[in-house]
Amino acid sequence: MLKAIIVGAGHRALTYASYARQHPNELQIVGVADPIAARREQVADLYDLPAERCFGSAEELAAQPKFADFVINGTMDHQHVATALPLLAAGYDMLLEKPFAVSEEEMWQLVEAARLHKRKVAICHVLRFAPFYTAIRQKVVDGVIGDILNVQATEHVSYHHHVVGYVRGKWNSKAKCFSPMLMAKCCHDLDLITWMKSGVPPVRVSSFGSNMQFRPERAPAGAGTRCLVDCEIEPDCLYSARKHYLDHPNRWAFYVWDALQQEGATTAAPHKPYAELTLTEKEEWLKRDNPYGRCVWKCDNDVVDHQSVAIEFADGATATLNMVGGASKPSRSIHLVGTLGEIQGNLEDSRFVIRHIDPRPGCEYAEEVVDLSIGGDMTGAFGGHGGGDLRLVADFLKLMNGEQPSISTTTLEDSVNGHLVGFRADTAMTEASVVAI
Ligand SMILES: NC(=O)c1ccc[n+]([C@@H]2O[C@H](COP(=O)([O-])OP(=O)(O)OC[C@H]3O[C@@H](n4cnc5c(N)ncnc54)[C@H](O)[C@@H]3O)[C@@H](O)[C@H]2O)c1
C-alpha cells in the first residue's frame, strides 16, 4: 500500500488520484495541498482527510515532516518546477504533470534536483500508456519494422477543445500559462516521436506556425463581444458558448465551471460545486465577465492555432509533427516508416496496420491489422487519453514498489528529449531558423 498526497487539486490530479478509490489496497490518498479552500475541502471529503493533512500550498506541505511516499503534482504548467523543488528536497517522489517545465533552464533545474535528492519523478506522458501507442512501441522494440527512417505524427485538436483551452481558456496566451501551445498540447506527441526513436537523440529542428483563425479581423459581420449578451449571430455560430458549454455539458465544460470555482475562492463569492449549478446560474455566469462567454474572435489569445515541426535525428532519421487546432473531429495519428516495414494508425480508431513489402508477382505489400478494440479496454476503467491515464498510475506504483515497470515508463531523463525538441521548435519558429539540439 503506497501513500500519496495531492498537490494542486485540479482536474488532472484528481483523475490520477481516483486510482486510489478503484484500488484501495494499492494506493491511499493521505493529504492535499492547494491554495483554494473549496478544492481542499472537496478532496478532504472524498478521501476522508483530517484538517492537519490539508495544506495551503506545496511549499507549506514541504515544510512539514514527510508523511507519504509520493505526491501527485497537478499544478499548472509554470508551477511544476517551483512546487516540485521543495517537495523533492523534502524527500517525496513525484508523479508530475506535463509539460514538466516551461523553459529549458527550469527543465534542467528539475532534472538536477531529482538527481541530487535521488528522487523518482515520472512525467504524466499518459499517451505512452494508451494500449494503442504501447502496442506500436512494442512492435518497434521487437524489430518488426527495422530501423525507423521517418515518423509522421499529427494532432488535430477539435474545435470545442481548441476554443475552450487555447482561444478562450487558460492556455490561450504565453503570458498567462507560460507554455506555448506546442508544449501545452503536443509535448505528448513530441514525446511519442522521441520515444519511438529511443536511444537516438534529436539533433536539429525547424518549425512554422501562426495564430491564424480566431482574430478580430476574421470575426463575421454581426458578431458581438459576448455570446449571450450582445451577439446577433449567436444562434447560428459554430462557437457559441451556449452550444459548447450549456447544450453539451460534458464537452470540456468543466474548464468553464472550474474557473468559477477558482474565482469563488479568490473573491469570496458564494461557492457551489459545479455539479450543483443550475442551468440558469450557468447562463448567468457565462454572461458575466468571465473568459468563457467571450466571442471567439475577440479574445486575448496569442498562441498559435497550427504549427508544423520537422526534426532530424542523429542517425539521419526524420520526423514531422503537424498540430492543427479547430478541426471538426479530434484525431491523433502516427505513421512510422522503417527499413523493414511500416506502421500506421489512428488513436481514436484504436487500431493500426503493419505493412511489409511483398514483391511477388501480383503483390505489392502485405498488411496485418492490429485491432485493440477487440477485448481491449480503451477508456472505461482506465480513464481518458486512450486508456492511458490510470495505466500510468498503475505503472508508477510498480516503479515505486521496485517491480519491473512497463516499456512505457517515463523517467525524467527519458522525458527530456521531447521537451527539448518542443522548446527548440518554438525558438526555430520565432526566429525562422533551423535550430541545433
Ligand atoms: N497529461 C495530460 O494529458 C494533461 C491534460 C490536461 C492538462 N494537463 C496539465 O495538467 C496540469 C493541471 O491542469 P488542471 O487543468 O488540472 O489545472 P487546475 O488549474 O485545475 O489545477 C491546478 C491547481 O493547482 C493549485 N495550485 C496553485 N499553486 C499551488 C501551490 N503553490 N501549491 C499547491 N497547489 C497549487 C491551484 O489552486 C489549482 O487548484 C497542467 O500543467 C496542464 O497542462 C495534462
Tens digit of each residue's pLDDT (9 = 90 or more) over 258-279: 777 666 544 434 455 666 778 8
Check if 79 has its Cβ closer than 6 Å to any atom of ligand 1. Answer: yes
What gap in Å lies between CA 273 and CA 278, rounded to an integer?
A: 11
Determine the distance separating the centroid of ligand 1 and the alpha carbon of 339, expressed in angstroms. Answer: 41
Domain ranges of the chain: 2-124, 127-214+304-377+409-436, 216-298
Determine the distance separating the centroid of ligand 1 and the alpha carbon of 297, expressed in angstroms. Answer: 26
Residue matched to cell numbers 517515463: 410
pTM value is 0.94
pLDDT per residue as tens digits for the range 208-247: 999 999 999 999 999 999 999 999 999 999 999 999 999 9
What gap in Å lies between CA 32 and CA 332, rounded to an integer?
A: 34
What gap in Å lies between CA 47 and CA 44, rounded to an integer?
A: 5
Taking domain 2-124, whether its CATH number is 3.40.50.720 is answered by: yes
Residue type, position 248, single letter: H
Average pLDDT over the chain, rounded to whole? 92
pLDDT per residue as tens digits for the range 56-97: 999 999 999 999 999 999 999 999 999 999 999 999 999 999
- What pLDDT is attached to residue 112? 97
DSSP annotation string for 160-220: HHHIIIIISSTTS-HHHHSS-HHHHHHHHHHHHHHHHTTTS-EEEEEEEEE--SS-GGGPP
Residue 331 has pLDDT above 50, yes or no: yes
Topology (CATH level 3) of domain 127-214+304-377+409-436: Dihydrodipicolinate Reductase; domain 2 (3.30.360)
Number of H helices, E strands in the chain: 14, 15
User: Quick check: 345 and 352 in contact, CB under 8 A?
Assistant: yes
CA 397 remoteness from chain centre: 20
User: Quick check: 176 and 76 in contact, CB under 8 A?
Assistant: no
What gap in Å lies between CA 275 and CA 42, rounded to an integer?
A: 12
User: Quick check: 316 and 147 in contact, CB under 8 A?
Assistant: no
Residue type, position 255, single letter: Y
What gap in Å lies between CA 58 and CA 279, rounded to an integer?
A: 35
- What pLDDT is attached to residue 272? 59
3-class SS shares of the chain: helix, strand, coil, % to 5: 45, 20, 35
Check if 126 has its Cβ closer than 6 Å to any atom of ligand 1. Answer: yes
Residue nearest to atom 26 of ligand 1 (CA): 8
- What pLDDT is attached to residue 273? 62
Residue matched to cell numbers 509533427: 321
pLDDT per residue as tens digits for the range 353-381: 999 999 999 999 999 999 987 544 455 55
Check if 169 has its Cβ closer than 6 Å to any atom of ligand 1. Answer: no
Residue nearest to atom 31 of ligand 1 (CA): 57
Pocket probe mutation, ligand 1, options 40, 57, 76, max atoms within 8 Å of Cβ: 76
* Domains 2-124 and 127-214+304-377+409-436 equal at CATH topology level: no
∠ CA 248-251-254 to the nearest 5 degrees? 105
What gap in Å lies between CA 357 and CA 340, rounded to an integer?
A: 8
Residue 121 has pLDDT above 90, yes or no: yes
pLDDT per residue as tens digits for the range 381-411: 566 777 788 999 999 999 999 998 899 988 8
Residue 418 has pLDDT above 80, yes or no: yes
Determine the distance separating the centroid of ligand 1 and the alpha carbon of 338, expressed in angstroms. Answer: 38
Bond preceding residue 201 cis, omega within 30 of 0: no
- What pLDDT is attached to residue 429? 97
Check if 12 has its Cβ closer than 6 Å to any atom of ligand 1. Answer: yes
∠ CA 43-49-50 to the nearest 5 degrees? 130
What gap in Å lies between CA 73 and CA 98, rounded to an integer?
A: 10
**Mean of pLDDT values over 247-265:** 76
Determine the distance separating the centroid of ligand 1 and the alpha carbon of 179, expressed in angstroms. Answer: 13
User: Quick check: 340 and 143 in contact, CB under 8 A?
Assistant: yes
Which cell is 187 given? Answer: 509535448
What gap in Å lies between CA 36 and CA 33, rounded to an integer?
A: 9
